[in-house]
Structure 1
Amino acid sequence: MVTKVSAMTDKTTRRWGLTIPLDGISFDQQRRVIEELPDLGYTDVWSSEAGAGDAFTPLALASTWAPSLRLGTAIVPVYTRGPATLAMSAATLAAAAPGRFVLGVGTSSDVIVEKWNGIPFEEPFKRARDTLRFLRSALAGEKVSHEYDTFSVQGFRAGLVPDPVPPVLLAALRPGMLRLAGREADGAIVNWLSADDVRTVAPYVNEGGAGKEIAARIFVLPGMDADTSRAIGRRMIAAYMNVPVYRAFHEFLGRSDDFAAMWRLWAEGDRKGALEAIPDHVVDDLIVHGAPEKCREHVERYMDNGVTTPAIALLPSEDPAPMIRALAPR
């Protein structure tokens, strides 16, 4: 069966994405902001699925509010939806926005999968690999009967086959997953890394061949002073870097010494001390902050080093529109 697959990223298009829903305002009030994005130069909106909204509903609304935007999930966990349900959700949105949808999946974390959803967080590499292989077949309309290592599917054939089939990206941090994203997906989704760290992770993805997409969620706090930005950034960093998968990621990136004191104090229950132990230079590397023009230049450094699609994630605000306008690409 020959299947047409939508292009991951138009090489003539310089992508500039935004994470939705926007924090700080109700989603029903975000239409006016999203409608304005294409005129400002934004090309993409990317959703996520952790402890707030689901990944697909915001994109479905955005697809009608701004019909030119590309829509991406970053990410949908591969554990919390069954394989067939995940394929059906993706096919529905891909059919509603032909050629404009990118399915980003990932293993998520033990907190979300196991503690919040009661699903064993077992063999994440194999689960990601098996899900990618299943999605390739299912989204193409093939009948799937297969015993994968981490789940079994018997006799599934999608009743809705999108044309074109959406590309699939895999969230990845360390070499094994990054190589898997390049080998069996259309690219990778990364986050919580510096612009310079992109040079470390991108080659693993690009081993899989030319044209791989690398989308990055980049946390941006524009227009506030350095002390306030760093205080907010420290809280965000501590919340993530004490999750095992992110700790291992930054050990791989070479930040063991930078985070040693924070990890020790956090384990001892000294939360205040742990936050204070995070060096300024680490916050400045992982959180984009400062004047909007400087923030734009910082995001562009990610792209210079190998990110093809930045997905800016803004600090919550009562009115994010001024920030979004200020961060619009040149």
Structure 2
Amino acid sequence: MKLGLQLGYWGAQPPTNAPELIEAAENAGFDSVFAAESWGSDAFTPLAWWGSRTENLRLGTSVVQISARTPTSCAMHALTLDHLSGGRTILGLGVSGPQVVEGWYGQPFEKPLARTREYVDIIRQVLAREKPVASSGPHYPLPYNGPGSSGLGKPLKAITHPLRADIPIWLGAEGPKNVALAGEIADGWLAIYYTPRLAPMYNKWLDEGFARAGARRSREDFEVAATCQVIVTDDRAAAIAKLKPVTALYVGGMGAPELNFHAQVYKRMGYEKEVDEIGRLFMSGRKEEAAAVVPDEMVTETMIIGNLDEVRAGVKRWEEAGVTMLLVTCRDADHVRELAAAVRG
């Protein structure tokens, strides 16, 4: 089982101990470090700044939002970071949700699957650098000849030769169609709220993608990186209680009530009644009551919590379910070392 350090996105201020965490992760044998973005800090700059102090860690985005950049711009970011890091970039992409896409980026959210497919195709054209990049659209036509066009645009090849034509592209996906798309066109799946109990369902979705004509990977060379809190503790109940407000936030408050992808994931797990009640309470401002509705199992399904033996058994269970990497968050350098020792034995 590989370990990835998830730095996430920034809150009101940058984190103060990220360099310490990254140094500890590299020394402890972590595979990767990841940065994310929402509607504040971006994902590429922290990886370039803090990643310059590393030698072995892969540098991944988990995730960059496709509406934040044109596909050619995103490819420029990835090939630049790949050169600077000596070929250690992982490009994790995600569609985000309509509140962010339309409210922050001013882009349409419709047809996210088709947009993702077209976006990835253009990035791969840039990285292959075999011919000038062109796309018939409809979402990212190149060259652009629509309203307001000068008519002077022409297909171009990147001036800078990419270090690698095959920079890994991983998709952040939650629903069945998007996970199947990851199996078809990507090199890995960034899974959130993964539960080993539903591994047969996830594997069915992935297998649908692997079976499509022209699929890029097979199960044998495809990575599944799952976000997972790993907590080593003798007081399991207390740890679960602390995490319930976070679960309530994502289920009840992250996304529009009409379309909350996180809530949909938990409904697929069988928590439909709980999700509806959490959402109702959270949206009415009763956040503590919303957290109280979260059952213990709703937390422990998607996390590994317990004493050392229980954690190691949990890691083995996730690995047997098909997960190749756990993306973990850490408080400090000691926590990084603790998790490395627990996961690796």
TM-score w.r.t. structure 2 length? 0.81
CA distance in 2, matches of 1:35, 1:139: 30
Q: Which structure has the greater CA radius of gyration? A: 2
**In the alignment, is the contact (CA less than 8 A) between 1:16 and 1:309 conserved in 2?**
yes
CA distance in 2, matches of 1:312, 1:249: 20
Deviations along 1:19-52, one digit per CA (max 9) or x if unpaired, are 1269899556433432232331211112111145
SS of aligned partner of 1:238: helix
Once superposed, what is the RMSD of the aligned Cα atoms? Answer: 2.6
Q: Are the structure 2 counterparts of residues 293 and 39 from structure 1 closer, same or farther at C-alpha, using a change threshold of 3 Å?
A: farther
Q: Are the structure 2 counterparts of residues 266 and 105 from structure 1 closer, same or farther at C-alpha, using a change threshold of 3 Å?
A: same
1:99 equivalent in structure 2: 87
Amino acid corresponding to residue 321 of structure 1 in structure 2:
A
Q: CA deviation at 1:269?
A: 4.7
Amino acid corresponding to residue 176 of structure 1 in structure 2:
K
**In the alignment, is the contact (CA less than 8 A) between 1:174 and 1:201 conserved in 2?**
no
1:109 equivalent in structure 2: 97
**In the alignment, is the contact (CA less than 8 A) between 1:83 and 1:134 conserved in 2?**
yes
Q: CA deviation at 1:296?
A: 4.7
1:164 equivalent in structure 2: 164
**In the alignment, is the contact (CA less than 8 A) between 2:8 and 2:37 conserved in 1?**
no
Among 222, 228, 241, the alignment partner of 2:251 is 241
CA distance in 1, matches of 2:79, 2:161: 6
CA distance in 2, matches of 1:270, 1:247: 17
Q: Are the structure 2 counterparts of residues 37 and 169 from structure 1 closer, same or farther at C-alpha, using a change threshold of 3 Å?
A: same
Q: CA deviation at 1:67?
A: 0.6
Q: Are the structure 2 counterparts of residues 265 and 63 from structure 1 closer, same or farther at C-alpha, using a change threshold of 3 Å?
A: closer
1:38 equivalent in structure 2: 26
Q: CA deviation at 1:303?
A: 2.0
2:195 equivalent in structure 1: 194
CA distance in 1, matches of 2:235, 2:189: 33
- 1:287 and 2:303 are equivalent in the alignment: yes
CA distance in 2, matches of 1:65, 1:222: 29
**In the alignment, is the contact (CA less than 8 A) between 1:194 and 1:286 conserved in 2?**
yes
CA distance in 1, matches of 2:160, 2:30: 30
Q: CA deviation at 1:234?
A: 1.6
- 1:153 and 2:142 are equivalent in the alignment: yes
**In the alignment, is the contact (CA less than 8 A) between 1:21 and 1:27 conserved in 2?**
no
CA distance in 2, matches of 1:298, 1:51: 34
**In the alignment, is the contact (CA less than 8 A) between 1:216 and 1:307 conserved in 2?**
yes
Among 204, 213, 221, the alignment partner of 2:223 is 213
2:65 equivalent in structure 1: 77
Q: CA deviation at 1:79?
A: 0.5
SS of aligned partner of 1:16: strand
SS of aligned partner of 1:60: helix
Deviations along 1:163-216, one digit per CA (max 9) or x if unpaired, are 322011111111111111111111211112223234421332244123211111
Range moving further from structure 2, 197-206 or 222-231: 222-231
Q: Which has the higher strand share?
A: 1
Q: Percent same amino acid among aligned pairs?
A: 28
Unaligned runs of 5+ in 1: 1-13
CA distance in 2, matches of 1:216, 1:108: 17
SS of aligned partner of 2:69: coil
- 1:20 and 2:20 are equivalent in the alignment: no
Deviations along 1:119-161, one digit per CA (max 9) or x if unpaired, are 3322211111111111111121231222223222212422223
TM-score w.r.t. structure 1 length? 0.85
Deviations along 1:72-123, one digit per CA (max 9) or x if unpaired, are 1111111111222111001111122233211110101223323333333222
- 1:323 and 2:327 are equivalent in the alignment: no
CA distance in 2, matches of 1:255, 1:149: 38
CA distance in 2, matches of 1:21, 1:259: 24
CA distance in 1, matches of 2:244, 2:58: 32
Range moving further from structure 2, 247-256 or 166-175: 247-256
Q: CA deviation at 1:66?
A: 2.0
**In the alignment, is the contact (CA less than 8 A) between 1:98 and 1:164 conserved in 2?**
no
1:4 equivalent in structure 2: none
CA distance in 2, matches of 1:88, 1:309: 27
SS of aligned partner of 2:52: helix
**In the alignment, is the contact (CA less than 8 A) between 2:6 and 2:328 conserved in 1?**
yes
**In the alignment, is the contact (CA less than 8 A) between 1:59 and 1:71 conserved in 2?**
yes
Q: CA deviation at 1:239?
A: 1.7
Q: Are the structure 2 counterparts of residues 229 and 83 from structure 1 closer, same or farther at C-alpha, using a change threshold of 3 Å?
A: same
CA distance in 2, matches of 1:229, 1:37: 23
**In the alignment, is the contact (CA less than 8 A) between 1:95 and 1:161 conserved in 2?**
no
CA distance in 2, matches of 1:113, 1:313: 26
CA distance in 1, matches of 2:309, 2:137: 49
Unaligned runs of 5+ in 2: 144-154, 211-217
Q: CA deviation at 1:326?
A: 0.7
The 5 Å alignment of 1:131-150 reads 131-141=119-129, 142-150=131-139
**In the alignment, is the contact (CA less than 8 A) between 1:21 and 1:58 conserved in 2?**
no
SS of aligned partner of 2:230: strand
2:290 equivalent in structure 1: 274
